[in-house]
Structure 1
């Protein structure tokens, strides 16, 4: 498969995650150059430089589409699709971070080779893992690589569980009905957009929520970036259940990996896919945006950050080479550190490591001593 150009396409109508997209494209720029010796967009000029042919105007494209990225998420008008495709250079491989359905469908219909990258919803492993959807004549060895990483992720879940239970309360698993934790999301999470372009709200699943919870205790785990929307959703859940729903204060991985039996529920949070790795139940009311364990079509495969930053990996993606993975185990926290994306893992990392607690306490003590003179 001949590759002369790399093009970076994602949700062109969305502006709230440009830094994350830019990080991914900058990370893979040099590996792509080494793999294909082709034209790769300058990551320092993203999003102005995406690798499209000269003449493409984002403002003109946007005027052809619905007014918001949410309403356009499932589909855009045919003239907008045609305008975008007209500006793809010849022999291009399109690589995008969190491609929306309208873009995936347009590229597939035009038989344009593409790769959709996103951070896997399983975020408790020794490092963040990528979920990769490949629409190229890829080397079959990538499926074996994904299976090995899936096995490693299950091992990492066991290690996290060992650490949390080692450092937590000593004793047998508490008896009785499982507590329920509702996992909240941000107000405009893309996974909440239905086929009509509407944002799903908890009221749509009121009956299922009441049946699932029953008379059991329930708490609400607020998304760290939800702001006032999280508090509002917690009150609305309380109205559905006819009682007050408290805010969950324990870190998510302490809940999942601890001894207490907990049933997790959410509209579509990716965290629900993590629960089963710890022997806990996860109930999705709507649907996951990136199914890793339950996707019958096998759309997404695992790849480590070391994999996607390897030239050999990309040669295997287009079927011109083979790749079995890096020779060493997945590095600990490599992508987390570079991307500065820790999410709930930061709580686990600090709370279950005496070294970091000592660093924090010593730093505080030194600050107090300096303040005292």
Structure 2
């Protein structure tokens, strides 16, 4: 080995030590076995560091702060690009001669200082390309011979293309299954997606020590989004980060003077999609990944970790190696000391997939590939206590329904949505309500007349606009969030008196269409689909208080029936509700066959209508149908006044 010392020298002012200490701990023994050398420890820990014994980290920090009191994170940000000369001179005065610096996320000031002083470094960091079967490690050095050795060991472009193609096929197959199962869908054609970053992301630090924001690039974003709808990526898993991202999105929308919608899709859902998508961001890793998925990316800043993948022989940039390579004595032998004796054990036997991710607990966006809408984690939850938990939830739902209103109010159990629903109670006493499904028989009725009556509409009823009708419903229902994914713009543009959404759909609207959400009267309904607690499973499962619970009958039409009863309607008349899903809707589409599942659901719905009918009749009210609908178990009432 040509170096007398290997010195662990990370970013000394970085407030978090966990990342670099973890990496140094991992490579310490492989380097010892591969090269016969000790790398020591970074300054500031319990173990002896590799600088000269007189080096004092507190002295270095005092020189860096120049006598000004600063919080550790503020001092780090201020000096990340430019370290005061006294602190820099103090550090290099305590560096042993003929040292190779082993750095982690080397700060720009240290890189420049090493180059100007002809001091060699080897920087280690996690690669921005996270789509492989395990994480990759990025390595950069200003030592010519070390660069040549790393180039011969680096991951090839061909391997990266294969990794991207495998993940793409995985995600596209997953998306297709969800679409066919009517569980999730999204459409991103013609969009420009802004890739957001956490507020204190190191890659956002500019040379003035400030963290850059999308607001700083409003002119570029305005130009880039001229012919595309601008979306803003938001991960709603973390409340703090999602709130911050929404604030940025709202500020950007105000600056641009046009809506900027939230995009809740994950990185690899977006990158793997065949949709016509372009990306834009400041310095997010996803922008570097885009090329491997044939997506166009627009940079507002610079990549934090520039890679050599396009030109592996260039003098600067990071090479990528497998995580398991940095654990192998043979790798460090080849890089640092090929003239030394060959290590007895070249490497550990084949390590498990995701070993690096598990070791460093660095999953990033790949976690969503493994867990989002996947059966294995769901079934693992179910079999390890989830079933018991669901039974307890079922018991709590029944308990909630049984709590008298006065007791709930006394104990503050009502939330704002419950109070909003209670405002509807008996407001339509003695009137007639018309509940209109989307079966083809709907078109036998006078649509214009129904729009002026107390009418309830559902799902894709807005397609009546294509038939030449003005769709201005008094009440509109959408339970399934899949419907919102498919028809987001159409649903949010409906001018309705009140919109009723399931709690999940309501939450999605609140997140992704916050401006429209505030301008419209939208009510969230808690619909119980817990096994044993559905409408058809007991004659008692009919809600007399929808502010507490609505019993599912596997159709939002029955949600509306329970709401209409609560509002006091004397007669509730159904039209265009067939329960025959082999026939097309009025707009021409049919429900795809799902191996008998639809027949089972239809039978559950039919039984649920019988339960609802009993409650109407028991209390002297009428629940009937105004279109023939032979599968719907209700009495037919002739209503010539609304026939076309």
* 2:110 counterpart (82, 97, 103): 103
* 1:161 counterpart (165, 168, 173): 168
For residue 346 of structure 1, give the secondary structure of its aligned residue in structure 2: helix
2:431 is matched with none
Q: Quick one: higher RCO (CA 8 Å, sep 6+), 1 or 2?
A: 1
Instruction: Tell me how far apart the structure 1 counterparts of residues 187 and 52 of structure 2 sit (CA, whole Å).
Output: 63
- Tell which deviates more after alignment, 358-367 or 240-249: 358-367
Q: How does 1:85-164 map to 2 (within 5 A)?
A: 85-136=92-143, 137-138=145-146, 140-148=148-156, 150-164=157-171
Count residues with an aligned counterpart: 368
- Are 2:253 and 1:246 aligned? no
Q: State the shift of 1:83 in Å.
A: 0.9
1:320 is matched with 338
* 2:376 counterpart (351, 355, 360): 355
Q: State the shift of 1:365 in Å.
A: 3.2
- Are 2:203 and 1:203 aligned? no
For residue 146 of structure 2, give the secondary structure of its aligned residue in structure 1: coil
- Tell which deviates more after alignment, 113-122 or 131-140: 131-140
In structure 2, do the counterparts of structure 1 residues 47 and 88 end up closer, same or farther at CA, with 3 Å as the change threshold?
farther
- Tell which deviates more after alignment, 155-164 or 61-70: 61-70
Give CA-to-partner distance per residue, 1:71-100, whole Å, 9 cap, x none. Answer: 211221222122111222344321111010
- Are 2:255 and 1:255 aligned? no
1:13 is matched with 13
1:342 is matched with 363
- Stretches of 4+ moved more than 6 A in 1? 325-330
Q: Is the 2:330–2:347 Cα contact (8 Å) retained in structure 1?
A: no
Instruction: Tell me how far apart the structure 2 counterparts of residues 282 and 139 of structure 1 sit (CA, whole Å).
Output: 28
2:599 is matched with none
Q: Is the 1:4–1:92 Cα contact (8 Å) retained in structure 2?
A: yes
2:453 is matched with none
Q: State the shift of 1:168 in Å.
A: 1.2
CA root-mean-square deviation:
3.1
Q: State the shift of 1:261 in Å.
A: 2.2
In structure 2, do the counterparts of structure 1 residues 219 and 360 end up closer, same or farther at CA, with 3 Å as the change threshold?
farther
In structure 2, do the counterparts of structure 1 residues 210 and 364 end up closer, same or farther at CA, with 3 Å as the change threshold?
farther
Q: State the shift of 1:353 in Å.
A: 4.9
Q: Is the 1:107–1:114 Cα contact (8 Å) retained in structure 2?
A: yes
Q: Is the 1:95–1:115 Cα contact (8 Å) retained in structure 2?
A: yes
For residue 168 of structure 1, give the secondary structure of its aligned residue in structure 2: helix
Instruction: Tell me how far apart the structure 2 counterparts of residues 297 and 247 of structure 1 sit (CA, whole Å).
Output: 40
- Are 2:63 and 1:64 aligned? yes
For residue 25 of structure 1, give the secondary structure of its aligned residue in structure 2: helix
Q: Is the 1:139–1:319 Cα contact (8 Å) retained in structure 2?
A: no
For residue 232 of structure 2, give the secondary structure of its aligned residue in structure 1: strand
Instruction: Tell me how far apart the structure 2 counterparts of residues 236 and 158 of structure 1 sit (CA, whole Å).
Output: 36
TM-score (norm 1): 0.87
Q: Is the 1:4–1:38 Cα contact (8 Å) retained in structure 2?
A: no
Q: Is the 2:139–2:318 Cα contact (8 Å) retained in structure 1?
A: yes
The runs of 5 or more residues in structure 1 that have no matched partner are none
Instruction: Tell me how far apart the structure 1 counterparts of residues 269 and 100 of structure 2 sit (CA, whole Å).
Output: 42
Instruction: Tell me how far apart the structure 2 counterparts of residues 176 and 360 of structure 1 sit (CA, whole Å).
Output: 32
Q: Is the 1:126–1:156 Cα contact (8 Å) retained in structure 2?
A: yes
For residue 154 of structure 2, give the secondary structure of its aligned residue in structure 1: helix
Q: Is the 2:234–2:264 Cα contact (8 Å) retained in structure 1?
A: no
* 1:218 counterpart (221, 225, 230): 230
In structure 2, do the counterparts of structure 1 residues 55 and 370 end up closer, same or farther at CA, with 3 Å as the change threshold?
farther
Q: State the shift of 1:44 in Å.
A: 12
Give CA-to-partner distance per residue, 1:156-199, whole Å, 9 cap, x none. Answer: 1101111111121379xx99952121111122322222233333
Q: Is the 2:43–2:49 Cα contact (8 Å) retained in structure 1?
A: no
For residue 118 of structure 2, give the secondary structure of its aligned residue in structure 1: coil
Q: Is the 2:188–2:275 Cα contact (8 Å) retained in structure 1?
A: no
Pick the structure with greater CA Rg. Answer: 2
Q: How does 1:275-290 map to 2 (within 5 A)?
A: 275-290=290-305
TM-score (norm 2): 0.52
In structure 2, do the counterparts of structure 1 residues 51 and 294 end up closer, same or farther at CA, with 3 Å as the change threshold?
same
Q: State the shift of 1:5 in Å.
A: 3.0
Q: State the shift of 1:369 in Å.
A: 7.3
2:34 is matched with 35
Q: State the shift of 1:359 in Å.
A: 2.0
Instruction: Tell me how far apart the structure 2 counterparts of residues 44 and 336 of structure 1 sit (CA, whole Å).
Output: 26
